[in-house]
Every structure is written in C-alpha cells, then in structure tokens.
A and B are shown apart, each in its own frame.
Chain A
Amino acid sequence: MAALRERIARWIDGCSEELREPLEWQFLTGSKYFRPLTIFSCYRALREGPIPEQIMQSALVIELFHNVSLIIDDIVDRSPTRRGRATMHTKFGELSALMTSGYIVAEGYLQLKDDLTGIALFSELLKRLGVAECMQWRLRRRPLGIEDWRKIAGEDTGSMFEVCACLGDRSGRLRTFGGLLGLLYHGCDDVGDVKGLAALGGGGEEDLRDGILTLPAALAIRDPAAAKLFCDPEGGDLAELGRHFVAKLPEAEAYLDQIAEEGRIEARSFAVDPAPLIALIEQTRQLSRY
C-alpha cells in the first residue's frame, strides 16, 4: 500500500498545476484503499511472487475511478463532508470538482497505456456505475424487495468489486466473488448508516430523505406501515421511518452473514489460496459491527 500511495503522489506531481491542490485534497488523506487491496488479494489468491507492474497500475487507476464516483456522489447528494473533512465541491466549488473528475477519468485511461483488457474492464465499470445510479434514483420510494436491493447493489458497489476481482485475476474466475464482496460492502454500508456510524465515511440521512432502497429499508417496508412512510413523496415522518429501519437491523445483519458465507464458498471453490479472499470478507463484514 505504501508503494501505491507513492505512485499516487507521483501521479499528482505530474498533473496540471491548476488541479494539483484539489487532487491532493482528494487523494492524499483518509483513503482506506480497499479496492486496490481487493485487486492485490485476488492476484494473491491465484498466484505467488511479487505484484507485477500491470496489477500495480490497475490498483492506481481503480483508486482514481473510485474517487471520481465519490466526487460525483458528493455533488449529487449535496454532502458537505466526507471522512470528517470538506468534500471537494464544498472546498473548491462545483465547477472545479466536476472538471477535476473529468480530468481524472482521462488520466486513468492514459495510465492504462496498452493494457487493453484493463481498458475494457474500466469502461465496463464506468458504464455500469452510471446505469446503477440512474436505476437507483428511478426506483426510489417504491415498495420493492430484497431481490431488488440485490440487483441495485450488485450493479452499484457490486460492479466495482467485480471489476477489481477481474483486474487482479484476468481469467475472470473471481468475478462472482468480487460481486458478492461488493454486495456485502454495500449492505454493510447500508446497515452502518442506519447505526449512525462514521466508520464508512458518511451518515444515512440522504438515503432516508431520498427514499433510496437500502438493505434495512427493503426489510422494513415489508411492513405496510413502514412502506407507506417510505413511499410518501413528501418525505413523511423520517424519524418514525428510521425507527422501522433500526428494528430491522438484526435481520439485516443475518442477511449480511448469509452473503458473507456465499462469498466464502465462492472463494474456497475458485481460489488456489482462498485465505486473502476470506480475509477481505471478514474485514468487510466488520464494517457494520462497530
């Protein structure tokens, strides 16, 4: 991870002076580097030896693209802070944040050079993330179920980790594992938000306000009273809706345990050494348990 951090710093040094400050603000503090870690772990699960240059470069680019999604999310959600500090658009303005995110995408593709498989995977990621965001917004405040949550989360965070798994192991053997890890991450994020945690980088007020289908929401709205509040276009009684969500936390945790187990089975079935993958699952699962 230290090598990756250095690589990011070197990359920023080579960027336009005009954007260097926002880039440093965005990249040089607070990142958990969980997506690069997923790439490295997937590589390690199937191969030994030092991490090759192509994998290191993929780790750099996934961190770039992930941050683009964070910048856009923060603008759309009007979030003033992330990880305890001002978001890029709050600090530098929306224009700067939007232009910087475009610059990062272009730089990401340049960094991939002649890695055609990598280019195809990152293109798949950007397309799926865009579709998932639109789908999630279109399906807000609707009385949907767990299976719908799985579909949305699978395309949103799931696609990110699917691509990480394919970048780490280009054969695609760990794609399903990546998807399950992403689903688990998304679910832990949802549960963590309801618990009011800062551990995953934000609160859950935006999702509650916007009627986004989170895991606790999908479980809670099985109760018609909660469904009525959730589907209310005026926003309804958010405090009461929040209480419905809290009541469903144990069920949500049990469902996350089930996804974690699916991930372990997948790791044991397709990895030469499943230990790094199982460690990823355990680390992710802890995110909702603080």
Chain B
Amino acid sequence: MFGSGPGRSAHDPLTGIFMAMRDAWLAGVGLRENMTVQSAGGNPGAGLLGATLLGPMIGMLGAMADLAAANRQRFDQSSAEGAIGSPPGGQENSVATDFVLPMGHAMMIAANRSASYWFGLAQILASHQASLAQGVGVNAADGRAPGSERLLAADELRALLREVGDLAVREARILQSELNNLDENLAQNFQQPDLSGSYRRRWRSKI
C-alpha cells in the first residue's frame, strides 16, 4: 500500500520519513551550492528555488502520509484484537486503549503539524519567488545596482526570513497546544477516583 509517488517508500514508513528528510537535505545543499555558483557568475536563478524545493516537500508529505496511515492501521488492529482476542477485562485490551491510542494520536498530531509546516513553507516561497528572483538579480549585479534597489531586496529577504520563522514558531505552538490537550485527556483518564471524601475524625481525643 505504500510506495507510489515521491517520498512513498515501499518499505517501512519510518524509513520513508528518514529517506525523505535525506532527500530534502540534499536538495537544500545542492540549491545552496547552485546559488553560490550562479551569483559568482552573475547569473540570477532564484526562480529555481521554489521548484527545487517542491519535490522534496512533496516527498516529505508523502512519507508523512505513509507514517500516519501505518499508525492508523496499527491502532485499528490493536483495537480490533483487543475487542476479539482478549479475555473480558483483560490487561492487553486496557493497555491498547490506554497507551497505544494516545501514542498514535500524538504521532498523527505531529505528522499533521509537519505537513502543515511544509505546506506553509511552500506557500511562503511561492509568494516571495518573484521578488526573490529580482533580489538575487540585484545582488548579483556586484554592487552596481542603486542603493534603493539593494535596500528593497534586503527588505524582501528579511520579510521572507521573518515569515518562515513565524510559521515555524506558530506550528510549534499549535503542536504544543494539541499535545497539551492530549496530555490533559490522558491525565484525566488515569485520575484516581476522589478518595478524600468529607473529613471525618477517626480517633477520639484524649481527655
């Protein structure tokens, strides 16, 4: 069921994630080298940026989807086995419900946030692509461009960096918030029944 399309691994979905990360890393390194060579040779080429990163991004999304699907399958299996195979009130069923489901849920949340981050990143890159290309063109002109154009290019690049940073922080905060909710649910499920009751004296005072 896995293995079609970029980033989809025919093997273990976790391995797929690592392979997709490796691809993204290599693409980034390649792009950096490419841009250095191009700017030294006076040839703009930042328009390639979005296109070069798009493949690895899709790969990451594919790998995430595989991992999420694999987890889903695992939870469904555990639930089904719990329902059929275990003795009534058995320990295994309880473990599956208490631990495996929340762990799977946490992985789904993390995969979802990662996918959302990559989508956001692609959108930001797409929206800045034209101005970035222009900016690299100005910088590649070896300081001959008017100061105002260089300032404008720097401003565009700073906006891109801020947006990427803001996106990462926002996604991380949402992830933290969603995991906190899960943590709270888990804590409530494991909460002992209230044993305190109303206070009663269990001894007699010495007179």
List the interface of chain A (C-beta within 8 A of B): 143, 145-147, 150, 173, 176, 222-224, 227, 262, 265-266, 269-270
Contacts and interface: CB of A to CB of B under 8 A. Distances in A.
Contact of B170 (A150, A222, A223, A269): A269
Interface residues of B, number: 16
B148 A147 contact: no
A258 to B, nearest CB: 10
B152 A147 contact: no
Interface string B139-159: 000000011100110110011
B51 interface: no
A147 B177 contact: no
Contacts of A176: 169-170, 173
Nearest to B170: A269
Residue among B146, B147, B154, B170 with the highest chain A CB neighbour number at 10 A: B170
Given A145-B151, A223-B148, A224-B146, A270 B158 contact: no
B174 interface: yes
B174 A222 contact: no
Contacts of B162: 147, 150
Nearest to A218: B155
Interface in B144-192: 146-148, 151-152, 154-155, 158-159, 162, 166, 169-170, 173-174, 177
Q: Across chains A and B, which 4 residue pairs bring their CB atoms closest together, nearest first?
A: A145-B155, A147-B158, A224-B148, A222-B152
Given A147-B155, A147-B159, A147-B162, A227 B148 contact: yes
Nearest to A180: B166
B17 to A, nearest CB: 25
Nearest to B159: A147
A270 B177 contact: yes
Given A143-B148, A224-B148, A269 B158 contact: no
Contacts of A227: 148
B146 A270 contact: no
A4 B158 CA distance: 42
Given A224-B146, A266-B170, A269-B170, A145 B177 contact: no
Nearest to B148: A224
B148 A222 contact: yes
Contacts of B155: 145-147
B37 to A, nearest CB: 28
Contacts of B170: 176, 265-266, 269
B152 A145 contact: yes
Nearest to A145: B155
B82 to A, nearest CB: 33
A145 B154 contact: yes
A147 B147 CA distance: 17
A10 to B, nearest CB: 39
